Amino acid sequence: MDFKLLIYCALSVFLFQSCQSTQNSENHKEENEIAVSPEQMDKLGITNAEHLSAASKRALNWPDIGNEWFIEFSSLQPLKGDLAYEEGIVRRDPSAMLFENGKYYVWYSKSTGPTDGFAGDIEKGKVFPWDRCDIWYATSEDGWTWKEEGMAVGRGEKGAYDDRSVFTVEIMKHEDMYYLTYQTVKSPYNVRVKNQIGLAWSDSPEGPWTKSEEPILSPADNGIWKGEEQDRFAVVKKGDFDSHKVHDPCILPYKGKFYLYYKGEQMGEEITFGGRQIRHGVAIADHPKGPYVKSPYNPISNSGHEICVWPYNGGIASLITTDGPEKNTIQWAPDGINFEIMSSIKGAPHAIGLNRSADSEKEPTEILRWGLSHIYNNSDYQSIMRFSSARRTSHKAKGE
């Protein structure tokens, strides 16, 4: 190659790289040129507004909503009476509590015997603690000592959509009628079984309850399994966020309609950087008994596990726990659909049963002051416990 041509090529490459470096430097400078007030710098501890890290940029975008939504939970406390831990018995997933006739009412999943898993005899065994459950209820005058009153809703007859298990129940009262909504499983309980949602109603919290003849909500029917083997992670097409299961239902009267919030599980569910791929959805009806139509905005969360929702300030608040990149947050939607993070918390109990007699409009988290949850006493048996929380707006050292 001609020496002059070689020099020319080398110089061209140098000039191109210099221009690129200058352009990148200018772009980086432009990216960092974000308007930052002295007050923001002082509050966030930013050293130099011309050199903002990615973390500082995110912090500058945080909403200025104060600390009204931040709370801390205390350790779970055991209950007394019939809801105290009992070896050989599963009591879990308490509903919200209603205060009627001078006492609290709660409904929950109940089963007996150990869990065998899918390696055992599926036809005779029990694959999960919530398998082979019926829905029972208990009452209490003080929220601590409970009396188990009996079964509220049992499993259906063989061949029915709820013949294997009815569990994870919630309660709603509307116009002197009581509505229980819950998960259902039809036998056989294999890893590809599609859970649905059932409904029962009564004019008394003590029943008797009339069950819906068909599910009020079912998984999306647009996923495709791969092969015939019982492998829930093998899919050709995953489908919607709720293509495998609809879980943890809760109905709230809202703006003249009925919003059924639920957890969706997807066929071929993956583990992401936030954990399991769990999201929430909502279906809306004009009447408590339905029909329920899924919102076109589903999923309405990108995280969460059990549903825990309550009305506040014209909108709906939601406690998001356990799974996903936004787990351990309290969120709020002014329209019941478009949720924004209001606080990041720690130590939230699982499967919360809210105290619906609380004044939910007093402050954002008043309904979380106390309620019920469950705990795994061991791998086979769970019991219902009591949780409490308190607002946290400042911190001081001991003796300060």
Higher pLDDT, 35 or 83: 83
Higher pLDDT, 393 or 246: 246
Whether the predicted pLDDT of 32 surpasses 60: no
What's the pLDDT band for 9 if we cut at 50, 70, 90? very low
Residue from 350, 359, 298 nearest 319 by CA: 350
227 burial via Cβ count (<10 Å: 0-12, 13-18, 19+)? exposed
Whether the predicted pLDDT of 3 surpasses 50: no
Contact 282, 298 (CB under 8 A): yes
Residue in this structure with the two tokens 């009339």, named with its chain if needed: 210
Whether the predicted pLDDT of 23 surpasses 90: no
Whether the predicted pLDDT of 31 surpasses 90: no
DSSP label at 15? Answer: H
Q: What is the pLDDT of residues 100-129, one digit of tens each?
A: 999 999 999 999 999 999 988 888 899 999
pLDDT at 33: 67
Task: Give pTM, 2 decimals.
Answer: 0.90
Alpha-carbon span 94 to 99, nearest angstrom: 15
Whether the predicted pLDDT of 7 surpasses 90: no
Query: Which SS3 state, helix, strand or coil, does residue 40 take?
Result: helix
Tell me the HSE value of 55 on the side-chain side, using a 13 A CA sphere: 4
pLDDT at 121: 87
Query: Which SS3 state, helix, strand or coil, does residue 295 take?
Result: coil
Whether the predicted pLDDT of 6 surpasses 60: no
Average pLDDT over residues 197-211: 98
pLDDT at 12: 46
pLDDT at 133: 98
What is the second-level CATH architecture of the domain 71-391? 5 Propeller (2.115)
Q: What is the pLDDT of residues 246-300, one digit of tens each?
A: 999 999 999 999 999 999 999 999 999 999 999 999 999 999 999 999 999 999 9
Alpha-carbon span 74 to 320, nearest angstrom: 18
What's the pLDDT band for 14 if we cut at 50, 70, 90? very low
Average pLDDT over residues 202-227: 98
Contact 353, 372 (CB under 8 A): yes
DSSP label at 348? Answer: P
Among 26-30, 80-84, 180-184, 219-223, the least confident range: 26-30
As a whole-number percent, the residues of the chain with pLDDT over 70 amount to: 92
Contacts of 53 (CB under 8 A, 6+ apart): none
